[in-house]
Structure 1
Amino acid sequence: MAGVGLSLLVGYGLAAWLVYSLLVWFWESRPPLWTTVVIVGVTTLVVGYLSYQYGTSQLLASVDAADLPRERAPELYRRADRLAAEMRIETPRLLVADMAVPNALALGSPADGAVVLDRSLFRLLSPSELEGILAHECAHLESRDSLVQTLAYSGLRTVVGIVTVLLSPALLFLTGLARGVAWIRGRPTRWAEGTVGQFRLLIGNGVVVLLFVLTLVIRAHSRRRELAADDRAASVTGDPLALARALAKIDRVRDPNWSLLSPLYTRGDEDGTLGRVLSTHPAVDERIERLRGRARGTEPRRIR
């Protein structure tokens, strides 16, 4: 056991030294600091944009969406044209799909956006309510929300990756020291209980906390954009109650006692505080109340 412990100390120590040497070599041979920052930033944006483009095509393929011909839905296209002119975007490509749940989603940019509608929405919603949902999705296109979210997650991965690489020599050395000492002392499964093991876990948990905090920031921004899209849709259509009714109908379908359609996922807020702060959508009740407040002529509550 002492031999295994010494082997672990040497192995982890060599790995930590190699990683540290590579980091020192990179730091000494790096371009100027601002050039490095620009290179990392541009690479992050490019990777994020490529991920966005690939993810968009993959998502359309996964839902098996089909184009909705203009002659099949002239009234819907008339409303889409009016919304696009009001928001100064190109009329989005309209597609229909048989999703697992009634839903709508916006993909692309103001110049070449697409809105995918689940077929069940045409049975569930009235024309004005469907227009409210369409306006909400067009608001996402207008603000490029899907692209911004993808770039934000790309930046998150970059930050966490850089921090992890910088801490990797210390993590490797501390892990080897804790495991080696535990083997030498005859307690190989209790390496994390000592002072060194606890310190190593503290550093590792710090990286996890950083990831969690940055994720909370991105999710909070996503919820803020959902409320902003609601406000924009209500402003463009001039009928906030139509969007409120649409959200209420969609949310009601989630009730298992309501057998008209399959359960619907409209908000992404699970039960409990943690589920709410990690949700990408605010609670439907909050969204409906804000829209009803607009209809009463009161200012919407400040977006949290």
Structure 2
Amino acid sequence: MCARRTGTRLLMTTVGLLLLLWYLGLGAVSYWALSVLWLSAPGPAETAFLILTVALFGGYLSYRLGTRQLLSSLEAVELPRSHAPGFYRRLDGLESRMGVESPTVLIARLPTPNAFALGSKRNGVVVLDRSLFRLLSVDELEALVAHELAHLEGYDAFVQTLAYSVFRTVAGLVFLLLAPLLLPIGGIARAVAWARGDPASWSRTAFGRLLGLVEGTVVICFLLVTLAVRAHSRRREYAADDRAAAVTGRPAALARALLTIQRAAAPSSGLLSTLYVHTEEDKWTRLLSTHPSTDDRIERLLERARTPNRRR
């Protein structure tokens, strides 16, 4: 019995040593790769410019390809002018008052009655659910479209995609810089745990706790950046509401449109969830939401309707 226990402990120690060698080898390879990159890299300013350029270009490709994929998945069709002349007259009036060229208007069967805009003010797309033409009055539909055109004015979706792209690039670079240090630490933690006879306890070793501290710091940084981007998105929603109210002169119409959409909407998920009008009741969920509470938006618009001459 004792011999079996000794053999098991020897086997586990051997496995721990092999894991240590494996992680040390990975750390050495990552250190060598960083050394090669460091020697061949240009100056700090040029390197920063190159990293930023790659991040922005990656964000641009991600946005264009993601937009194309999203629109193709909706099976949306373009709304002909001959089918909705009154709607297009209102749209032409909005274009003349806003810095937006004529967007492509697509009609789709969305999972819930809603609208969203993609693209820029010179090459934009506005997607409307078919039911909106039945649920909303002409004034309400005009106010809702003005809100979406305001997003095109500000390049809102594009800016958020670029922000995430830059952060992902920086996060990947930080991981590469820390890899020669983190990999050996992780290997030592696992080797010690195996030598103790309890492989699952590696995270409770001193090296495991150090690795967990570093990983926790990275997670906190990611969460802070996510909160900042989501907060900016919510501010842009308020700004689009204000812009639509100023252009149409009917903030109450937009408030009624939001209320109708809120009542008709069902909980959604997937690619469209970040673009939809929705209400989040939980405090932490609101912090991570791309849209502010619909109730808050409605109240702001109604307050604006009650005080039309108030400077904002």
TM-score, normalised via structure 1 length: 0.92
RMSD: 1.8
The answer to whether residue 259 in structure 2 is matched with residue 248 in structure 1 is yes
Corresponding residue of 2:282: 272
Q: 1:30 and 1:154 mapped to 2: Cα distance?
A: 22
Asked if structure 2 preserves the Cα contact closer than 8 Å seen for 1:171 and 1:204, the reply is no
1:55: how far off? 1.2
Corresponding residue of 1:289: 299
Match of 1:55 among 39, 50, 66: 66
1:88: how far off? 2.4
User: For this pair of structures, how many residues does the alignment match?
Assistant: 294
The AA in structure 2 aligned to 1:40 is I
Corresponding residue of 1:181: 192
CA deviations 1:160-204 (Å, max 9, x no partner) are 111111111222111100000111111111111111111111111
Which one has a bigger Cα radius of gyration?
Answer: 2
The AA in structure 2 aligned to 1:278 is L
The answer to whether residue 111 in structure 2 is matched with residue 91 in structure 1 is no
Q: 1:172 and 1:271 mapped to 2: Cα distance?
A: 42
CA deviations 1:79-130 (Å, max 9, x no partner) are 1111011012212111100011111011111112111100011111000000
What secondary structure sits across from 2:117 in the alignment?
Answer: strand
Q: 2:107 and 2:152 mapped to 1: Cα distance?
A: 17
What secondary structure sits across from 1:107 in the alignment?
Answer: strand
1:228: how far off? 0.3
Matches within 5 A, 1:74-153: 74-153=85-164
Asked if structure 1 preserves the Cα contact closer than 8 Å seen for 2:16 and 2:193, the reply is yes
Asked if structure 1 preserves the Cα contact closer than 8 Å seen for 2:203 and 2:212, the reply is yes
Match of 1:68 among 47, 72, 79: 79
1:266: how far off? 4.2
Distance of aligned partners of 1:300 and 1:193 in 2 relative to their CA distance in 1, 3 Å threshold: farther
1:58: how far off? 1.1
1:298: how far off? 6.6
Instruction: Using the TM superposition, name which of 155-164 and 115-124 deviates more.
Output: 155-164
1:132: how far off? 0.6
Matches within 5 A, 1:34-49: 34-49=45-60
Unpaired segments of 5 or more residues in structure 1?
257-264
Instruction: Using the TM superposition, name which of 196-205 and 228-237 deviates more.
Output: 196-205
Corresponding residue of 1:260: none
